[in-house]
Amino acid sequence: MKKEKQHRIADVARRAGVSEATVSVVVNNRVGKSIRVSDETQQRVWDAVRDLGYVPNPSARNLARGRNNLIAVFSFESIFPLDSRNFYYPFLIGIEEEAATQGYDLLLITAASDPTMRGHIYHNGSNRLQLADGAVLLGHAADQSEVTRLLSSAFPFVYVGRRESPNDDISYAAGDYVSATRQLIEYLFAHQHQRLAYLAPPVQTEASRDRYRGFVEAHAQRGIAIDPNLSWYGGVDTFTTETFTHLVGLGATAFVAENDQIALRVLDEAKTAALRCPEDFSLVVLGDPLTIVENDTHWTTYKIPRREMGREAVRLLVTILSGTSELPRPYRTVLPCQFIPGSTVSVAKKE
């Protein structure tokens, strides 16, 4: 079968009897006050386009506009292992949905070249994201200098999740963990719990600091002192039955776990200690599950708007790329989390 000829802009120009530059102006809708083309000439160009079946090359058209209509999606952490599925998947769905709405394609930049499966923006001195017009970033950088370098290069990007920088100039779409955590702690206070054990992983991120800030604010509003002896930081495997019973012995009637991995460990060690949740103690989790661990417990927690955070990150990036906003950078949105009452909190037992 004979291959149908793919007509070029030069063919349209010859058919219409105009220059290639005029055809480009017309088909790219750039006729205006600064570029004048008569109605008659425009009609000849569109007639030639129709007669030849000419389809503008999207790559060439975007290059003429100085962009590729591509958004890079980059994570400093691997997003494909199953144990990360629950955490990253909603972000990616939101990013994909909003990119389609905004008329952008996505380019996934992976960490496959790194044996540690940690992502790097720069490779051999060059910015790997520059194939795209801008980028949506996820995860925590092992080397913060890469983010600082990206900021200094003026390459457009938006983070999913709050991120700090030396000049506080990162644009992001984040969840309001401060207010959501404060609401959970107030819920515990309403159930007569005043001595709360705070359990967190050893590495503290911006999200961790926001959660703890909500914890502190809730105590301050009630005038309740925080006992530092009831705070625990460590790897999940280091939380033992002895750790649990020690905290209970210090008077803790409720446990506040930063994630569901720690919360599951609390339940395991409580079972060994012959204590039940919520009959003997209460437990809240600061955010919905990070992993795909199967578990029938209906946590008292809050739902993080991960899907909407992904969508909002793309919206903010498109605003930056359009250059139309009169608002100063950085561009930021903090979205509310949804309180989930669950079944792991009950009224504290009286001494």
Round the average pLDDT of the chain to a whole number and report it: 87
| CA-to-CA dists, residue 190 to 31, 184, 186, 251, angstroms | 65, 10, 6, 18
Residue 203 forms part of a structural domain:
yes
Confidence of residue 118 (pLDDT cuts 50, 70, 90): low
Residue 298 forms part of a structural domain:
yes
Mean pLDDT for 58-87 is 66
- Output phi, psi for 227, to 5 deg: -85, 110
Q: How far apart are CA 252 and CA 264, in angstroms?
A: 17
Q: Tokens 């991995």 map to which residue? A: 261
Q: How many CB atoms lie within 10 A of CB 188?
A: 22
Decide if 283 contacts 263 (C-beta within 8 A): yes
Q: How far apart are CA 32 and CA 29, in angstroms?
A: 9
Q: What is the DSSP string of 193-242?
A: ---EEEEE-SS--HHHHHHHHHHHHHHHHHTPPP-GGGEEE--GGG--HH
Decide if 269 contacts 239 (C-beta within 8 A): yes
Mean pLDDT for 22-47 is 79
pLDDT tens digits, 147-193: 998 998 889 999 999 999 999 999 999 999 999 999 999 999 999 99
Least confident range of 116-130, 183-197, 287-301: 116-130
Instruction: With a cut of 50, say whether residue 198 has pLDDT above it.
Output: yes
Same domain flag for 284 and 229: yes
Q: What would the two tokens of residue 15 be? A: 């058919």
Instruction: With a cut of 80, say whether residue 75 has pLDDT above it.
Output: yes
Residue 190 forms part of a structural domain:
yes
What separation, in Å, do the N-terminal and C-terminal C-alpha atoms of the chain show? 89
pLDDT tens digits, 78-102: 765 545 456 788 999 999 999 999 9
Q: Of 64, 84, 99, which residue is a domain's last?
A: 64
Q: What is the pTM of this model?
A: 0.79
Q: How many CB atoms lie within 10 A of CB 241?
A: 13
Same domain flag for 165 and 279: no
∠ CA 282-303-271, nearest 5°, is 30
Same domain flag for 161 and 13: no
Query: How many domains are contained in the chain?
Result: 3
Which structural domain, as residue segments, surrounds residue 112? 70-175+307-337
Domain with residue 150: its CATH number is 3.40.50.2300
pLDDT tens digits, 308-327: 999 999 999 999 998 877 77
Residues 6+ apart with CB under 8 A from 334: 162, 174, 175, 176
Radius of gyration of the chain measured on its C-alpha atoms: 27
- In 273-296, which positions are buried (b, 16+ CB within 10 angstroms) versus exposed (e)? eeeebbeebbbbbbbbbbbeeeee
Same domain flag for 165 and 311: yes
Q: Of 20, 36, 64, which residue is a domain's last?
A: 64
pLDDT tens digits, 228-239: 999 999 999 999
